[in-house]
Amino acid sequence: MKWGKYTPYILLIPTLVIIILFIYWPAVSSFMLSFYKVSPFGDIKIFVGFDNFLNLFKSKTYLNAIKVTVIYILVTVFSVIFLGYLIALLLDNKVFGVKFYRTLIFTPYAISFTIAGALWTFMLNPVAGHINYFLNRFFGISANWLTSQPFALISVMVTSIWKMLPFSIIFYLAGLQSIPEEVIESSIIDGANNWQRIWKIKFPILSPTTFYLIIMEITHAMFDSFGIIDIMTRGGPVESTTTMIYRLYLDSFYFQKTGEAAAQSVILFIIMCFITFFYFKFGEKSVHYQ
């Protein structure tokens, strides 16, 4: 009996060991490693302080990765939120076959980012791809979607939007179905038209959902985009699709710049902390919890 109060802690030991070994220890190691210059074989480490961070912000390639990341996040997150809400409104209607449509639209969420990249790579193939086939057949045009600018970045963003969109639709649809019918009926009696009900009543009610989705979609865009970019363009052409997470991968595994790669991981961590803090601090002012 005297061991009873310690049972929960004993049961948590396996989980804590895994978390420490695979999350906290690598994080601390990356933070420490960001202050060192490391040889390609890892056998020599020289303390350089903040030189790795300073060198990154002097590097045109890293500044370009930041620019690409900002464009990528702004376009994909806005599109996913906006389109997710509109599609959820359509799926909230009680029409024949709506369950089939919901299942069909949710399908992309069930596959991985890597599979999504492979699928769209095939469809965007300039010779055998479906996209160029229909464009050439009906409009007489074709493009090298994955090997020319700005089509490569556009292709990656469209693929990411297609992959992330069901996540927003699911949450918006659940939120729409939880809105009391009395609220909508009252708005109709007060003379609100469809546009006003969609943007002045329903969307503000769903502000907690939007608040959550913005944070989650930024996280997806920052980190989960790696699989799509690696499969579709490998950061090219001319680094036009090299985001910060893919730049980290290249510097770490291709160019063996371990110290700079560790510094990049710290920068990503700080950015995500800042975005989360900033949005929770100021974004919640526009969130209305019912």
Residues 6+ apart with CB under 8 A from 118: 231
Would you call the peptide bond into 108 cis, given omega within 30 degrees of 0 as the criterion? no
Per-residue pLDDT of the chain (290 residues; tens, 9 = 90+): 566 677 888 888 999 999 999 888 988 988 999 999 888 777 788 889 899 999 999 999 999 999 999 999 999 999 999 999 999 998 888 777 778 888 888 888 888 888 999 999 999 988 888 888 888 888 888 888 898 888 999 999 999 999 999 999 999 999 998 888 888 888 888 888 888 888 888 998 898 889 889 888 998 888 888 999 999 999 988 899 999 999 999 998 888 888 999 999 999 999 888 888 877 776 666 555 55
Domains, in order of start, for the chain = 54-286 (1.10.3720.10)
- What pLDDT, on the 0 to 100 scale, is given for residue 182? 87
Q: What is d(CA 228, CA 100) in angstroms, rounded to the nearest whole number?
A: 27
In SS3 terms, 117-160 reads as: HHHHHHHCCCCCCHHHHHHHHHHCCCCCCCCCCCHHHHHHHHHH
Pick the closest to residue 213 from 168, 174, 170 (CA basis): 168
Question: How far apart are alpha carbons 135 and 171 in whole angstroms?
Answer: 34
pTM to 2 decimal places: 0.88
